[in-house]
Every structure is written in C-alpha cells, then in structure tokens.
Amino acid sequence: MLLRACIVVAALALPAVGYAQERALLPLAVVDVNAEQASLSTAAETLERVIVADLERAGRIRATPAPEGALNGAFATPNVALLVESGARRALAIDISNRLDGRVTIAARAFDVATGSSDGMQYVSTPDNLRRIGHRIADRLNSLDGGGADLDSRLLGVRQHDAGARIVIMDSDGANFFFVTSVGEFSHPRFGPGANFFYIARETNGSRVMAMNLETNRREAITGVFVAAESGLAAARGAPVIAYVRQDGAEADIEVLRTSDGAILHRWQLDGWQGEPALDQHGTQIAFLSGEEGARQILIASADGATLPVTLGLPGDYRHLSLSPDGAWLAVVSRVNGAHQVGVIPVTGVDPFRVLATSEHFDRPSWSPSGSLLFVSGADGAASINVTSDARARIRLPFDMEDFDWSGLLP
C-alpha cells in the first residue's frame, strides 16, 4: 500500500511579522513510504508526516510527496525521468513491515537524483517509537545536504502553573513531552553533559542551582543558597561548567563554577546590571550583558577570566544572549522601536548583526546541537530558524511554555 504525505511544504504561509520566510528557493526532496501490510498504514502515514515536518524545520530542503510511480520502495530502482521532471534533487523511499516479534522493520534509501548514488539505512523498532525513527531518517537526509544531527534531539522548557512551575522535556518538534519535576519555583533549565541538566530552584531565603540526571532522576544541590534579584544560569553541554548570577550586597556578580568539584573558576564583578550569561559547549568562553537598560553592552571573554572582556558591537537595548555550541556566533534578542528582534552576530564582530525575525516579544533563543538552527519563542509562538538559509518553520508546543534549552539526544 503506497502512502503519500498530504502536506506540501514548498512554501510556508506565516505572518509578515514574526517567522515569515519564503522557502521556494530551497532544493526539493520527494518522500514516499510503503506499508507492506495494511495494518501499518497509519504507522506509515505517521512516519512520513514526521519526516516531512522535520525536513521543513531543518530549513535546508523542502519536502513534498513523490510523483506517482517515481518511487516503488527502498529496494526498487527509482524512475529517474519522473524525479528529474519533478525538479527533485533528492528522493527518499521507505518500506515498513511487521516482524514476528511484534516490532517493525523500517528500510529507507535516499537517492541523489543527479548522480544516481544512494544511501541506505535500516531500523528495527517498536511501533510506539516510530517518531524517533522518523527523526533519525530526517537527520540522515539532512546531513547529506550539509546539515547537522538536530532533529533527533530534545527541548527543555518551563510550564507555569498557578501554584508554581514545572520543568518539561520533549522532542525537538514538541511531541512526547513529560514533566521531570513537580510544581515548584523553578527556572532556567539548562542542558549539561550527558543526561544531566541544571536549573534554579527558589527557596524561602534565596535560590540555589540544582542538578538532575534524567537517567537516574537523582537531584543534588550544586551551590549554596544565594540572593539574586535578576536570576541567570548558563551551562556548557560538553563540560562540567556553569555560570550563574548571584548578588552580594548591592552588586550582582556572575560566578563561573566547575560542577565536578565545586571549584570557582572566576567571578565577574562589573559595574551596572548584568544579564543572564551564555557559555559555549566547552565552558571556555562566556558572554554576558552589562550596563543600564537601553545602553547595555555585550561582553565576551574567557570563562575562567584569563582574558579581559571584549565589547562586541555598540551599546543597545539587549535582552537575551545565547552562544552557539562552537562559540563562533552569538544569538541576541534586542529591543528596537518597541519591538523585539532576534538575530546573530559573529563573536569576532567582523560582520554586522543580522536580523532573523521581529516580534512583539522574544524569550531567550537556544541553539540546536549542531549550531545550524535557532529555537525561538515569544508572542508569535515557537519556531526553528536556519541561520544560514533563513528558512523557518513553526513548532507546535503542547501548551504555553517559556525558558527553553535545546540539546542532543537524551532519554
């Protein structure tokens, strides 16, 4: 039974302010999923829908159903003439079949229409894990066009309740969510190395940074209780390093801490307001805001204080910062003429600030694991933006959330 996706994403119809972007110039890929048993027709539709949506979010190629007769399964030779006529650069054929043990086999093959080469992959899965397989296949196809492994990944966020907040983890497309904390005064969830993440827990007499392991559910306090009028927390994804805002007297400082042994690597003590810090994935580079509202400066330095801070660009009404995993780019939210803009700028400051989207309000942006995409959320909802092609796609979240962080594969 041959199934074709009913959604064509050759172009997105999004509002002019926010995440609007024409995608028609992106290379085309066509997708077909063949369910070898009728009982798998729904599973095949789900798999195809996930892959099409993933490729849309990746922003490197646009996906559409294959022309009738162009693809006839992962092990059959495609009809190249029909593929060429469709304008496709790549084609993806998938067979899904039942196994005797109740699991399913997914065989997929990606074809390069111009060269005739192909790339095969095969997975064995339980039916309830098909979304995950779809993310993996989409990552593989995306990588053939130079993209990163960003789709089989996870998001952390905060869900506000009347009685407090809960931290939520979900797939990068907003599916398969579950709560990892009970209701409390929690904020700033940030992925760390492995299956660990950090967050700020507010208590009666102050706040402290907590760590939680998603595999064992073990939690522990990383810092003692501190006072912070303006909370802020950053964590390195590939090293046991965090940076957080704490207040001693009238001054708010940023402390850089190695979580493996509690050693303080540096404490940044600067005049004026200091916003939420940002770290690269190795915990070696830090960026933060300093100054008064409307005239804040972006400062970049070695996280351990070995180098003096360097000012990036001109002062502005900056609100949020996020360093790319490799530390080469900075995502910035600024307020201009009453609206929020999110954009990127290289940490060298050689190139100008490039605006990606404008909205009434943006929360802190978060980079994908490879640094190819930005997750942004605010007044216009949530979306992922490809920082190279500027293509973007909405992400449907299960409910209103804030304070997101994006990381690679986790449980």
Number of alpha carbons in the 13 Å side-chain half-sphere of residue 154: 23
Which amino acid makes up residue 333? Answer: V
Query: Is 184's pLDDT higher than 60?
Result: yes
Phi-psi group of 370: left, alpha or beta (phi > 0 → left; psi -120 to 50 → alpha; rest → beta): alpha
Domains of the chain with bracketed CATH: 2-144 (3.40.50.10070), 154-407 (2.120.10.30)
Mutual angle of helices 130-144 and 41-58, in 10-degree steps: 40
Q: What is the pLDDT of residues 281-291, one digit of tens each?
A: 999 999 988 87
Share above pLDDT 90 across residues of the chain, in percent, rounded to a whole number: 39
Residue type (1 letter), 366: S
Residue 315 has pLDDT above 80, yes or no: no
Residue 9: closest CA among 69, 62, 58, 57: 62
3-state secondary structure of 57: helix
Segment 79-91 mean pLDDT: 89
Mean of per-residue pLDDT scores for the chain: 84
- Residue 328 contacts residue 347 (beta carbons within 8 Å): yes
Question: Which helix H or strand E contains 154, and what residues bound it?
Answer: strand 154-161
Strand 28-35 with 88-98, pairing: parallel
Find the range with the poorest average confidence among 252-261, 268-277, 319-328: 268-277
> What count of other Cβ atoms lies within 10 Å of the Cβ of residue 44?
25
* Contact (Cβ atoms closer than 8 angstroms) between residue 374 and residue 327: no
Q: Which of the listed ranges 57-71, 176-190, 261-275 does the model predict with the highest average pLDDT?
A: 176-190
In this prediction, residue 7 has a pLDDT band, given cuts at 50, 70 and 90, of very low
70-84 exposure pattern, b = at least 16 Cβ within 10 A, e = fewer: bbbbbeeebbeebbe
Q: Answer whether 0.75 is exceeded by the pTM.
A: yes
Q: Could you tell me what percentage of the chain is helix, strand and coil, using 3-state DSSP and rounding each to the nearest 5?
A: 10, 45, 45
Q: Are strands 28-35 and 62-65 parallel, antiparallel or unpaired?
A: parallel
- Per-residue pLDDT tens over the stretch 360-393: 888 889 999 999 999 998 877 888 888 888 888 8
Distance CA 369, CA 148 (A): 8
Q: 2-11, 21-30, 282-291, 314-323 — which one is most confidently predicted on average?
A: 282-291
Secondary structure letter of residue 224 according to DSSP? -
- Could you report the per-residue pLDDT of 116-169, keeping only the tens digit for each? 899 999 999 998 899 999 999 999 988 887 888 899 999 999 998 878 899 999
Would strands 233-235 and 392-395 be described as parallel, antiparallel, or unpaired? unpaired
pLDDT of res. 23:
47
The values of phi and psi at residue 229, to 5°, are: -65, -35
Indicate the pLDDT class of residue 229, thresholds 50, 70 and 90.
Answer: low
Contact residues for 220 (Cβ-Cβ < 8 A; gap 6+)? 210, 211
Alpha-carbon gap, residue 290 to 308, rounded angstroms:
14
Residue with more model confidence, 290 or 172: 172
What is the rounded distance in angstroms from the CA atom of residue 342 to the CA atom of residue 232? Answer: 19
Strands, sheet with 233-235, edge to edge from the N-terminal-most edge strand: 233-235, 241-248, 251-258, 263-268
pLDDT per position as a tens digit, 344-368: 989 887 677 888 888 888 888 999 9
Which pLDDT score, from 0 to 100, does residue 16 have?
32
Q: Which of 91-100, 149-158, 226-235 has the lowest mean pLDDT?
A: 226-235
181-208 mean pLDDT:
91
300: β partners: 287, 310
Residue 4 has pLDDT above 60, yes or no: no
